[in-house]
Structure 1
Amino acid sequence: MGQYTGAVLITLAVIVLAAGLILLGWRNRLRRQSDVPAPPQIPLDANGDPELGDFIGEPAQGVYVCTTTAGDWLDRIAAHHLGIRTNADLSIHPEGVLLARHGAPDVFIPAAAITGVSRSSGMAGKFVEKDGLLVISWMLGTKAVDTGFRPRYHAELPGILARIAAPGAPGTDNNEEPPAETKENQ
């Protein structure tokens, strides 16, 4: 036995204990969130292929940060793999927003479920420069949630936000009155 064997064994025991406690905590979070409904499926045609309209703007590459309870950006939703951070491609369609995640199930946010879109500097363990995250607020069944996405290129963020928030885009009502300043200029 070497002189460091005891220290190595203690270190390994602490690492195994810490990993076990993390897994126990995640399992308990999953159990507490068992009432969270599954995200909607991507609309499919008769052949089972995705049936989404043309892109509104170009898709964006980036990182799916996570989905949290609306307004509580530290309460990560673990159910249905919504709490797993992955690389993703965000595309906006007339039917809604698709986050095609790499290594995890895709997240589809129907246009009718979107309640708002904003920018933030962080959520659930991912903090970046001021207004560096896109946050889509939406209704997952009866639960209000926020989904974060960080585009690979920061310059794309204002365009993505504008396309989601634009009249006729997902989550907007085409019958809304234009702002007062727009009405005056007509």
Structure 2
Amino acid sequence: MTQNTWTAIIAAIIVVIAALLMWKGWTKRKKAQAGVLGTLPTVPAALGEPTLEPLSGVYVGSTTAGHWQDRVVQEPLGFRSAGDLIAYPEGILLNLDGGQIWIPDADLRAVRTDSRIANKVVPGKGILVFTWTAEGNGDPIDIDTGFRADDKDNYSAWTALKESK
């Protein structure tokens, strides 16, 4: 065998080991969070007119509030996805490729911009973060949900959304 063959074999083994370790970590996190987070809110059957122009972009992820690396793995919160963000009088809707996330207005505590969430770091304040209270199995849990819009020019309207209520 040539040196290039051995290099390729060793690189493949390292990639497989890394993938297995990441899968093990994800599974461990899922087990640790099982039973902590209750049922997520569902989108109401009837919604009013959108209060802001919808944003397209990427759902970055959700973490426990204030802990930007403590990712929530419960579906659909656990996976990055392209999608749209829409504000209604009743709450915030994230229409994602992998499902929907509904944040009722009554549960929404704050809207801010940040540079990091769910192990994702971007320049400036490029992530729109919604802090909300989710139903826990026992105690309520505060969640930070991040969305990175394609057009960040309207972030100020979104951050003012909670201030105006």
SS at match of 1:71: coil
Residue equivalent to 1:63: 58
TM-superposed deviation, 1:3: 4.6
Q: Tell me, what secondary structure is at the counterpart of 2:125?
A: coil
Q: Who is 1:147 aligned against?
A: 145
Q: How does 1:165-184 map to 2 (within 5 A)?
A: 165-167=163-165
Identical aligned pairs, as a percentage? 36
For the aligned residue pairs, the C-alpha RMSD in angstroms reads 1.5
**Residues 133 and 4 from structure 1, CA distance in 2 versus in 1: closer, same or farther, beyond 3 angstroms?**
closer
User: Counterparts of 1:79 and 1:107 in 2: how far apart (Å)?
Assistant: 11
Mapping for residues 92-131 of structure 1, pairs under 5 Å: 92-102=87-97, 104-131=98-125
1:21 aligns with 2:21: yes
Give the Cα separation in 2 of the matches to 1:164 and 1:150. Answer: 18
1:14 deviates by 1.3
Deviations 1:79-107 (A, max 9, x none): 123121111101011111000012x1210
Task: Give yes or no for contact 1:38–1:80 (8 Å, CA) kept in 2.
Answer: no
Moved more, 6-15 or 111-120: 6-15
Deviation at 1:2, TM superposition (A): 4.4
Residue 75 (structure 1) aligns with: 70
5+ residue gaps in structure 2?
Answer: none
Are the aligned partners of 2:76 and 2:100 in contact in 1 as well (CA < 8 Å)? Answer: no
SS for the counterpart of 2:68 is: strand
1:56 and 1:84 mapped to 2: Cα distance? 27
User: What number of residue pairs does the alignment pair up?
Assistant: 160
Query: Does the CA-based 8 Å contact 1:92-1:164 persist in structure 2?
Result: no
Q: Which residue of 1 aligns with 2:132?
A: 138
Q: TM-score normalised to the size of structure 1? A: 0.80
Which residue does 1:48 correspond to in 2? none
User: How far apart, CA to CA, are the structure 2 residues paired with 1:38 and 1:21?
Assistant: 29
Summarize deviations over 1:125-165 as a string: whole Å, max 9, x none. 22223222211110011111111111111211111222343
- Displacement after TM superposition at 1:21 (Å): 0.8
Q: Secondary structure at the match of 2:75?
A: helix
Which has the bigger relative contact order, CA under 8 A and spacing at least 6?
2
Q: Normalization by structure 2: what TM-score?
A: 0.90
In the alignment, does 2:6 pair up with 1:6? yes
Tell me by how many angstroms 1:109 deviates.
0.2
